[in-house]
């Protein structure tokens, strides 16, 4: 048993090797640039835009995304499985106008885990490939959407390529959705499908507007990534996922500064993590540190010598690669780690210590457990105490009157599950 800061570097007690450094090294800013430029080349990716052309509109964009995933599937020796999920939706076109009936298509890469259960523990990484111009109903004008959200889509595609050549215990889903700008339609459909099928999603990350390093406020920040997470009551799996991400980034991607934001999303705005969070799935949203509103949801134009529009030239490929590595480290660690323990019980009332016990992780890879605790007002776990095969531990001198506790499972390489309470 030991007590050390919970964000202690990997290797403390770890004996096995991790593929995470290899995955992170494979993430390529050049490939990310090629993908963003390709997505921008379709002129507009409005959800109700052209679908028959091979060079223009959302149909061409989704077929290209599918082809990109199929190339990653080929490189993975067929382990990555590519599919599409199509459904009809009505989108509002404004007062006095008939709603448009459109087909929305999610493009999905599925990497089966060694658990060999397609509905078992699954982690989802998401970006939306639809875009919009100044008016949300304008299906014709240029809507390059380089940052919003070709950047997030490129993150998903790059991770599909980098991760699908490795083996994970849990399933991984690389999800490219449309209809985001019309009310999160693609992500909502996928989340409802997963819930109705009984898919156990243990974590979901959406990447949306993850390419800009200079905000409209003039601030340049090439390291900070905002991570939005909301809590529902005392048990807050989405916020725990955010903590897990910050800790994983601290271990594997020290160049990134994860700014935890304890809100659902930016003020009065939304993203594709919301339908998942609302279902109780741990889900977070990543966004650049400083947005530039002259470049989002704008018609491409020059006004008083100022360039407006969501153009490739305003995206930092190194920053998108940094975001991809943070996703890769978090998803990699969670999917490699044993499943979390369950049924956490505490004996703590009217005592000077806290006794925890739990039902073991079902994973055969489990090498031990870590009990973590923090002051109730602290954002991150502050202390950790480890055991090997035991499923009970008493923390002397620490009371649950003033602390929160969690338990996570660890494998021999030091990959940690989400802490559960
Ligand atoms: Zn967006």
Closest CA to 110 of 49, 156, 41: 156
Q: What residues sit around ligand 1, an ion, with C-beta below 5 angstroms?
A: 148-149, 208
Strands 392-395 and 257-261: unpaired
pLDDT above 70: residue 26:
yes
Q: Do 292 and 216 meet the contact criterion of CB atoms below 8 Å apart?
A: yes
Ligand 1 centroid – CA 207 distance (Å):
8
Strands 201-207 and 81-91: unpaired
Ligand 1 centroid – CA 117 distance (Å):
32
Quick one: what percent of the chain has pLDDT higher than 70?
96
Closest CA to 382 of 361, 369, 398, 359: 398
Ligand 1 centroid – CA 128 distance (Å):
7
The pLDDT, as a whole number, for residue 111 is 98
Ligand 1 centroid – CA 351 distance (Å):
49
pLDDT above 70: residue 12:
no
Alpha carbon distance 240, 203 (integer Å): 10
pLDDT above 50: residue 4:
no
Alpha carbon distance 223, 296 (integer Å): 21
Alpha carbon distance 252, 270 (integer Å): 29
Ligand 1 centroid – CA 362 distance (Å):
37
Ligand 1 centroid – CA 363 distance (Å):
36
Ligand 1 centroid – CA 386 distance (Å):
41
Q: Compute the average pLDDT of residues 35-63.
A: 97
Neighbours of 270 (CB within 10 A): 15
3-state secondary structure of 176: strand
Residue 154 DSSP symbol: H
Q: What is the pLDDT of residues 270-286, one digit of tens each?
A: 999 999 999 999 999 99
Ligand 1 centroid – CA 302 distance (Å):
23
Ligand 1 centroid – CA 419 distance (Å):
29
Ligand 1 centroid – CA 269 distance (Å):
10
> How far is the first Cα of the chain from the last one, in angstroms, to the nearest whole number?
20
Alpha carbon distance 418, 248 (integer Å): 11
Q: Sketch out the chain's domains with CATH numbers.
A: 20-336 (3.40.630.10), 339-410 (2.60.40.10)
Q: Which residues contact 269 (CB under 8 A, 6 or more apart)?
A: none
| 97 vs 5, residue with greater confidence | 97
Q: What is the pLDDT of residues 101-143, one digit of tens each?
A: 999 999 999 999 999 999 999 999 999 999 999 998 999 999 9
Q: Compute the average pLDDT of residues 399-410.
A: 96
Ligand 1 centroid – CA 359 distance (Å):
40
Q: Do 147 and 153 meet the contact criterion of CB atoms below 8 Å apart?
A: no
The pLDDT, as a whole number, for residue 205 is 98
Strands 100-111 and 171-177: antiparallel
Quick one: what percent of the chain has pLDDT higher than 90?
91
Ligand 1 centroid – CA 264 distance (Å):
15
Ligand 1 centroid – CA 271 distance (Å):
7
Helix (H), strand (E) at residue 132? none
Could you give the C-alpha distances from 402 to 236, 344, 349, 386, 397, in angstroms and in order? 18, 18, 11, 21, 11
Q: 4-8, 49-53, 150-154, 248-252: which has the minimum mean pLDDT? A: 4-8
DSSP for 38-92, written as a single string: HHHTTSB--TTS--S-SSSSHHHHHHHHHHHHHHHHHHTTT-SEEEEEEEEEEE-
pLDDT above 50: residue 261:
yes
Ligand 1 centroid – CA 90 distance (Å):
19
Q: What is the pLDDT of residues 337-395, one digit of tens each?
A: 999 999 999 999 999 999 999 999 999 999 999 999 999 999 999 999 999 989 999 99
Q: What is the pLDDT of residues 155-195, one digit of tens each?
A: 999 999 999 999 999 999 999 999 999 999 999 999 999 99
- CA 123 from centroid of its chain's CA atoms: 9
Helix 237-252 to helix 317-336 angle, to the nearest 10 degrees?
110
pLDDT above 50: residue 7:
no
pLDDT band at 14 (very low <50, low <70, confident <90, very high): low
The pLDDT, as a whole number, for residue 235 is 66
Neighbours of 68 (CB within 10 A): 26
The pLDDT, as a whole number, for residue 102 is 96
Helix (H), strand (E) at residue 20? helix 20-26
Ligand 1 centroid – CA 209 distance (Å):
6
Phi, then psi, of 283 in degrees rounded to 5: -145, 135
Phi, then psi, of 301 in degrees rounded to 5: -165, 165
DSSP for 232-246, written as a single string: -SS--HHHHHHHHHH
Ligand 1 centroid – CA 8 distance (Å):
34
pTM: 0.95
On the CB side of 39, CA atoms within 13 Å amount to: 35
Q: Compute the average pLDDT of residues 61-85.
A: 98
Q: What is the pLDDT of residues 279-308, one digit of tens each?
A: 999 999 999 999 999 999 999 999 999 999
pLDDT above 60: residue 5:
no
Q: Do 231 and 278 meet the contact criterion of CB atoms below 8 Å apart?
A: no
Ligand 1 centroid – CA 350 distance (Å):
49
Ligand 1 centroid – CA 341 distance (Å):
35
The dihedral through the CA atoms of 127, 132, 137, 139 has a sign that is negative
Length of the chain as a residue count = 421
Ligand 1 centroid – CA 208 distance (Å):
5
Q: Which residues contact 278 (CB under 8 A, 6 or more apart)?
A: none
Q: 136-140, 328-332, 355-359, 404-408: which has the minimum mean pLDDT? A: 136-140
The pLDDT, as a whole number, for residue 8 is 39
pLDDT above 50: residue 409:
yes
């Amino acid at each position: 048993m030991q007590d050390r800061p919970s964000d202690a570097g990997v290797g403390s007690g770890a004996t096995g090797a991790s593929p995470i450094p290899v995955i992170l090294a494979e993430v390529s800013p050049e490939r990310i640039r090629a993908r963003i430029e390709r997505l921008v080349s379709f002129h507009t990716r409005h959800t109700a835009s052209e679908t028959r052309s091979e060079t223009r509109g959302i149909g061409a964009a989704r077929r290209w995304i599918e082809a990109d995933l199929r190339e990653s599937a080929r490189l993975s020796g067929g382990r990555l499985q590519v599919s599409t999920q199509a459904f009809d939706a009505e989108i509002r076109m404004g007062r006095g106008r008939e709603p448009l009936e459109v087909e929305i298509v999610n493009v999905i890469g599925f990497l089966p885990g060694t658990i060999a259960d397609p509905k078992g523990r699954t982690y989802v990484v998401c970006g939306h490939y639809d875009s919009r111009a100044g008016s949300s109903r304008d299906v014709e004008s240029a809507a390059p959407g380089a940052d919003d959200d070709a950047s997030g889509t490129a993150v998903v595609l790059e991770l599909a390529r980098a991760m699908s050549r490795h083996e994970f215990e849990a399933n991984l889903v690389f999800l490219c959705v449309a209809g985001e700008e019309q009310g999160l339609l693609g992500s909502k459909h996928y989340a409802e499908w997963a819930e109705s099928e009984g898919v156990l999603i243990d974590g979901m990350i959406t990447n949306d507007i993850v390419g800009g390093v200079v905000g409209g406020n003039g601030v340049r920040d090439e390291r900070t990534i905002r991570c939005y997470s909301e809590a529902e009551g005392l048990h807050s799996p989405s916020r725990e996922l955010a903590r897990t991400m910050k800790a994983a980034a601290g271990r594997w991607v020290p160049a990134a500064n994860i700014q935890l934001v304890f809100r659902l999303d930016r003020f009065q705005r939304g993203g594709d993590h919301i339908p998942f969070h609302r279902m109780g799935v741990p889900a977070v949203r990543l966004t650049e540190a400083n947005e530039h509103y002259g470049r989002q949801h704008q018609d491409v134009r020059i006004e008083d010598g100022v360039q407006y529009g969501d153009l490739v030239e305003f995206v930092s490929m190194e920053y998108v690669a940094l975001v991809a590595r943070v996703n890769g480290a978090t998803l990699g660690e969670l999917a490699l780690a044993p499943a979390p323990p369950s049924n956490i019980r505490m004996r703590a009332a009217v005592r000077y210590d806290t006794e925890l016990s739990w039902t073991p992780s079902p994973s055969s890879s489990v090498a031990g457990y870590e009990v973590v605790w923090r002051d109730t007002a602290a954002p991150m776990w502050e202390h950790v105490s480890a055991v090997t095969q035991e499923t009970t531990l008493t923390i002397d001198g620490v009371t649950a009157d003033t602390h929160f506790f969690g338990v996570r499972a660890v494998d021999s390489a030091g990959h940690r599950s989400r802490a559960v309470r």
